[in-house]
Amino acid sequence: MPIELTLAVEAFPIAGRFVISRGAKTQAVVVTATLRDGDAQGRGECVPYARYGESVESVTAAIEGVRSALESGADRVALQRLLPAGAARNAVDCAMWDLEAKKSGRRAWLAAGFSRLTPLVTAYTLSVGTPDEMRAAAIRAADRPLLKVKLAGEGDDARLAAVRAGAPHATLIVDANEAWREETLAAQLDACARYGVALVEQPLPAGQDEMLARVARPIPICADESAHDTASLAALRGRYDAVNIKLDKTGGLTEALAMAQAAREMGFAIMAGCMVGTSLAMAPATLIGQMAAFVDLDGPLLLAKDREPGLVYEGSTMEPPPAALWG
């Protein structure tokens, strides 16, 4: 019996707004791929990201372009050749992992080489806003152990001061989303050090981050927009201390696992990250979380409504995915 592929575009409202240096959004629009083989089906979710030239239309068109190969039984190895790294391949790759697990009755993490999955503590994201807005948000989240603070460049010192005042005991990660500039980098890193920041994500624009190899880094710096897949790692040496591995960038769990192994061998710390999506997108990323120094898989916590069944979060602690969700 041939495999059947179906695609769905779904929208999940965000609780409030999600704001970063590049703009704001009020819903997470995702593309879900389902592969059915007889009575078994596997699902994968991706979030098309305009920063990387993706849209719902381009992602669905890319998957439709390989429909024949997928329905003829192409496997995950073949998929790496059929589609480039990115959101389209991610949805299909994760659906393949899920389908394999459902057909075999063997959890995906066992197939990936893990003996078990442990609960993870995820960061919780605070959107960019005025200092007063961010202080209020920090107060509401002050009981969470790890906060990810979105920054935007000018005025970030005041934003950090406000967040630290609102959540004096939380560990802070900051994410500039490429908004900082070379002439202010040293001062911004010094401000982060003053407020006890543990990690800085992507301070400079990708492709314009050579300066990071020439300046003192008082705080570990993590590549996000500069880090996509295994092939991107070599250029990051000397500039970054960590890499943010997101399945929508790597093109799925298969490449993410390879990238994590290569990153560790090259001396990078790992951050397991996500776009704003549902529990279906977070579930396979929990495998990368097992290898990560920092976990940022809070997508469902930012939504007004998640999928059912979804991941179980107790505060910021997330449990491994149930089989009914994925894998």
Q: What is the three-state SS of 85-132?
A: CCHHHHHHHHHHHHHHHHHHCCCHHHHCCCCCCCCEECCEEECCCCHH
Q: State the Rg of the chain over Cα.
A: 19
Element (H, E) at 37: strand 23-37
| Residue range(s) occupied by CATH 3.20.20.120 in the chain | 120-318
| Percentage, residues of the chain above pLDDT 90 | 94
Which CATH superfamily, name and number, covers 4-105?
Enolase-like, N-terminal domain (3.30.390.10)
Under CATH, to which class is 120-318 assigned? alpha beta
Domain with CATH 3.30.390.10 in the chain: 4-105
Beta-bridge partner residues of 291: none
Beta bridge partners of 176: none
Given the residues 25, 103, 148, 150, the one annotated as active site: 150
In this prediction, residue 2 has a pLDDT band, given cuts at 50, 70 and 90, of: confident
pLDDT, residue 95, reads 98
Residue linked to tokens 């791929």: 33
Distance (Å, whole) CA 322 – CA 307: 13
pLDDT class of 1 with cuts at 50, 70, 90: low
Cα separation, 144 vs 315, whole angstroms: 7
Would you put residue 98 in left (φ > 0), alpha (ψ -120 to 50) or beta?
alpha
User: What confidence tier does 16 reach under pLDDT thresholds 50, 70, 90?
Assistant: confident
Among 248, 302, 254, 297, smallest CA distance to 121 is for 297
Q: What mean pLDDT do residues 63-91 have?
A: 97
What token pair was written down for 135?
A: 């202080």
Extended beta strands in 127-272, E state:
146-150, 171-175, 197-201, 221-223, 242-245, 269-272
Mind listing the pLDDT tens digit for each residue in 195-235? 999 999 999 999 999 999 998 889 999 999 999 999 999 99
Catalytic residue among 102, 246, 249, 305: 246
Type and span of the H or E element at 314: strand 313-314
pLDDT at 22 over 70: no
Cα–Cα distance for residue pair 15/218, rounded to 1 Å = 35
19 confidence band (pLDDT: 50, 70, 90): low
Mean pLDDT score of the chain: 95
Convert the pLDDT of each residue in 90-121 to its tens digit: 999 999 999 999 999 999 999 999 999 999 99
Per the CB < 8 A criterion, the answer to whether 223 and 234 are in contact is no
Residue 150 known to be catalytic: yes
Judge whether residue 30 has pLDDT over 70. yes
* Mean pLDDT of the region 185-196: 94
Q: Which residues contact 115 (CB under 8 A, 6 or more apart)?
A: none
Task: Say what the pTM is.
Answer: 0.95
